[in-house]
Structure 1
Amino acid sequence: MPSTYRVETFPAATPAASTVFTTVLSQGPLTRVELARRTGLSSAAVTKAVRPLMEAGYVVETAETADEGARPTLGRPANPVRVDGGRALFIGVKVTADEVIAVLTDLCCLIRVARHAPLPARDPSAVIGLIASLTEELLTQAQSYGVAVQGLGIAVSGDVDRAAGVVRYSPFLGWHDIALAELASAATGLPVTVDNDVRALTVAEQWFGDGVGCANFAVVTVGAGIGCGIVVNGRVVSGSHGVAGEIGHLPIDPQGPLCHCGNTGCVEAIASDSAILRRIREDTGRPVADSAAALALAHTGSPAARAAYAHAGETIGRAIGAVVNLLGPERVIISGEGLAAYDLFAEQIREAFTAAAFGTAAQCEVTTRPLPFDEWARGAAAAAIQTFIGSDTC
């Protein structure tokens, strides 16, 4: 892995320039007038922010509106501008308990190449070694595009301190206080951004998915864990200590099962895939092999299996109601591998959410968006892009 990999400095030296760029990135092409309206900046401030971005090639005028055969210039402010996705490349990595997914994306987070590899072991050295191997492969692939990779994003479940680059606690990997950003940077030669996987996915949804144009929304993920990413006033919330949106550890039922976090009756202890599987085994007395078998059992009409999914749905719905009551988002996007069972608990989610939501908070739009793990890796790349352009979370 080259230790002298060329990394540029992004030409957005001010918060205004970063705001302009992210607005064009997620909502462009836009004219400078429209940019001023959407960002709340003056026309002069927008022009000042756009100029170095265009000079460096990160932003270009759209070909559809430029005169045929004319070279784009800075003197035609009526022409919309857009981000040139091919100007830079990024690598995003999603680490699960069983595999590592790595993607090569452009500056607009379009996936160019994707790789999956089984995880041989969960200790940090094994995971970092596999990340380094996949990164080296993607760096080789990147050479054909003729532009440099400017950063590596790694998404891990659990308590992740993005500012410090440290995984404080990841239950699925069994990690405590691992300086992942530092270790991965040493192994790959790239600047590394480490973030919670759901928060990284939320960045991608904010810029490129169902959150585009929403100033306040939440992403709730169901599956191996129960997570939540939150956007308030256009900024992804990371919290003062890197922990925010952990609805999986809201104590919903004081008489409920013990959670791995040490508390009782957490959402995750009731509604995660493993919790549902455990309850079905206990209630049926059958050695149900895995979540796929549990799902199949419920679909064949097993009352105990269907009751376990219904209870999970009710619990998730109550948790979403708590999020909506506290933050008042206009939209909640439900995703995650657990959506495979959505038909078994959709009604319970909706009913419990409606019952828990206070007043007009119940008007919040609740949607589903199935996303494969490639998209979670794309979220990690989005976090790396966020770091590169200086657009931090709050």
Structure 2
Amino acid sequence: MTIERVPARLSGATSHGHLLNLIRATGGMSRQQLLASTGMSRATLYERLETLLRRNLIYEAESMEATGGRRSRKIRFEDRGRVVLSFALGQTHATVAVSDTNGRQLRSRSVEHRINAPEDTVLQPLIRIGTELLDAGTGETLIGIGVSVPAPVDAGTGYVVHPTTIPEWEPDAVVTSVSSQWQVPIVVENDARAGALGECTTENETTVYVKVATGIGCGIVVNGTILRGAHGAAGDIGHIHVASDGPLCRCGRRGCLATFSSGSSLIDRLNSQGMTSLDEIARAAEQGQPDVEAQLLSAADVLGGALAATVTTVNPNRLVLGGTIGTIPYFAEQVRSRVLKDVVERIAEGLLVVAGATGDHAAVDGLTRLVMRKVFAPDAIDMLIVDYPIN
């Protein structure tokens, strides 16, 4: 019998929550494998497995290879029928999605909106769509909800802080609106940070994700952990000062990165060419319109110059470009070229600079991961079992 390798940080599981985390991380183990991996006594392990079974958190799955006696059965995490609802809000559109616990989108819908409108006119239509998507499923259980917004967020409370893009919203608007409809755990995160987590391919990867859409946002993930900063504003690179005599930014200063490289700045410069939306710019780029290409390459070059400092500081495995503008192939290539030109060789070595997933796939995936972490964190499971015992 082959024992699956258990990550060192998961070995020695003792509590119900850590035991469940071990089962989730390995994809399932037999009782004998769990005994060997955790060092728990048989009586303690079986008691905790029984509690998790009664809580419908694990189940006995397929039989494993016989080892001289009767076949043992693999104990798996009970993820069947469990779903996460995600709301990925951008400045001009939003995606509502229902995903399984592995992040696979089961149903989704994208709509246009204006994020700077009053909170109810933005959130209530999306909540109705979420209700419709959930009602369209059968045999599903909603376990949590994730919401991403293009603004700094206090991850502890879910409140929006420094809401430049949504000045008419109350700080608790998202939490209050969503919790009034569904009584499940809620995660609220900045859109670029959610996208950064969604773009990570391995747990020990360092990723810098830059969303270039109406504005510019950045998320940084190190070893699976999102860097949020002291006040939830880490990655707010749109307001890096790149020129003392540059255009006036909505923050009141001149020469911010956003005034050169954001989608809104591109619309301003291309308005005379009939470009009034990011989708129109993306279509013109695909068609190879020279004026559009020139503006995009200029914007990408400025962005790449600004990102060189971030890349040098963080030294990531990958720099991923997202958003309607960021995923345009030659825009991403120009960013790559400028970054690799500006950083020293030891930073550039092995660095991948790529265009990420289109649409809101990265944000939805990141939100699903965050919800799963919150709902099934070892401490959360232990508190559930202590606070709500099954008689």
Fold-level match, TM-score > 0.5? yes
Q: 2:244 aligns with which of 238, 250, 254?
A: 254
Structure 1's 175 and 361: CA in aligned 2 closer, same or farther, altered over 3 A? farther
CA drift of 1:18 comes to 6.7
SS of corresponding position for 1:86: coil
Structure 1's 168 and 213: CA in aligned 2 closer, same or farther, altered over 3 A? closer
Structure 1's 256 and 307: CA in aligned 2 closer, same or farther, altered over 3 A? farther
Give the equivalent residue in structure 1 for 2:206: 216
State yes or no: 1:152 paired with 2:148.
no
The answer (yes or no) to whether the contact 1:156–1:195 under 8 Å persists in 2 is: yes
The answer (yes or no) to whether the contact 1:222–1:336 under 8 Å persists in 2 is: yes
Give the equivalent residue in structure 1 for 2:359: 372
State yes or no: 1:197 paired with 2:191.
yes
- Higher-RCO chain (CA-CA 8 Å, sequence separation at least 6): 1
What is the alpha-carbon distance in structure 1 between the residues aligned to residue 242 and residue 185 of structure 2? Answer: 40
The answer (yes or no) to whether the contact 2:64–2:72 under 8 Å persists in 1 is: no
State yes or no: 1:134 paired with 2:129.
yes
State yes or no: 1:291 paired with 2:285.
no
SS of corresponding position for 1:109: coil
State yes or no: 1:167 paired with 2:157.
no
What is the alpha-carbon distance in structure 1 between the residues aligned to residue 320 and residue 333 of structure 2? Answer: 16
CA drift of 1:155 comes to 0.9
Percent sequence identity is 22
SS of corresponding position for 1:353: helix
SS of corresponding position for 1:332: strand
What is the alpha-carbon distance in structure 2 between the residues aligned to residue 21 and residue 332 of structure 1? Answer: 33
The answer (yes or no) to whether the contact 1:168–1:175 under 8 Å persists in 2 is: no
CA drift of 1:91 comes to 0.6
The answer (yes or no) to whether the contact 1:57–1:87 under 8 Å persists in 2 is: no
Structure 1's 255 and 384: CA in aligned 2 closer, same or farther, altered over 3 A? same
CA drift of 1:379 comes to 3.0
Alignment of 1:286-325 (within 5 A): 286-295=273-282, 304-325=291-312
The answer (yes or no) to whether the contact 1:90–1:106 under 8 Å persists in 2 is: yes
CA drift of 1:124 comes to 0.8
Q: 2:371 aligns with which of 368, 375, 384?
A: 384
Deviates more, 1:291-300 or 1:172-181: 291-300
| Letter of the structure 2 residue corresponding to residue 156 of structure 1 | V
**What 5-or-longer segments of structure 2 have no aligned partner?**
1-12, 380-391
SS of corresponding position for 2:161: strand
What is the alpha-carbon distance in structure 1 between the residues aligned to residue 15 and residue 253 of structure 2? Answer: 43
Give the equivalent residue in structure 2 for 1:104: 98
SS of corresponding position for 1:266: coil
The answer (yes or no) to whether the contact 1:222–1:334 under 8 Å persists in 2 is: yes
CA drift of 1:15 comes to 11
1:140-185: CA deviation from partner (whole Å, max 9, x where unpaired):
234x12x421111111111122212212244444445420212321
The answer (yes or no) to whether the contact 2:208–2:221 under 8 Å persists in 1 is: yes
What is the alpha-carbon distance in structure 1 between the residues aligned to residue 227 and residue 61 of structure 2? Answer: 33
What is the alpha-carbon distance in structure 1 between the residues aligned to residue 125 and residue 232 of structure 2? Answer: 25
CA drift of 1:275 comes to 0.9
What is the alpha-carbon distance in structure 2 between the residues aligned to residue 298 and residue 231 of structure 1? Answer: 30
CA drift of 1:53 comes to 5.8
| Letter of the structure 2 residue corresponding to residue 153 of structure 1 | G
What is the alpha-carbon distance in structure 2 between the residues aligned to residue 270 and residue 244 of structure 1? Answer: 20
| Letter of the structure 2 residue corresponding to residue 367 of structure 1 | V
What is the alpha-carbon distance in structure 2 between the residues aligned to residue 250 and residue 373 of structure 1? Answer: 25
| Structure with greater Cα Rg | 2
What is the alpha-carbon distance in structure 2 between the residues aligned to residue 103 and residue 163 of structure 1? Answer: 23
The answer (yes or no) to whether the contact 1:203–1:379 under 8 Å persists in 2 is: yes
What is the alpha-carbon distance in structure 2 between the residues aligned to residue 220 and residue 317 of structure 1? Answer: 11
CA drift of 1:82 comes to 5.9
The answer (yes or no) to whether the contact 1:92–1:384 under 8 Å persists in 2 is: no
C-alpha RMSD of the superposition: 3.8
What is the alpha-carbon distance in structure 2 between the residues aligned to residue 138 and residue 100 of structure 1? Answer: 14
Q: 2:337 aligns with which of 343, 351, 354?
A: 351
1:23-43: CA deviation from partner (whole Å, max 9, x where unpaired):
876x754779xx99xxxxx74
The two structures have a TM-score, normalised by structure 1, of 0.75
SS of corresponding position for 1:188: coil
What is the alpha-carbon distance in structure 2 between the residues aligned to residue 204 and residue 385 of structure 1? Answer: 13
Alignment of 1:27-106 (within 5 A): 28-29=26-27, 43-44=38-39, 51=49, 56=55, 58=57, 63=62, 65=64, 73=73, 83-86=77-80, 88-106=82-100
**What 5-or-longer segments of structure 1 have no aligned partner?**
1-13, 37-41, 74-78
Structure 1's 298 and 132: CA in aligned 2 closer, same or farther, altered over 3 A? closer
What is the alpha-carbon distance in structure 2 between the residues aligned to residue 195 and residue 215 of structure 1? Answer: 20
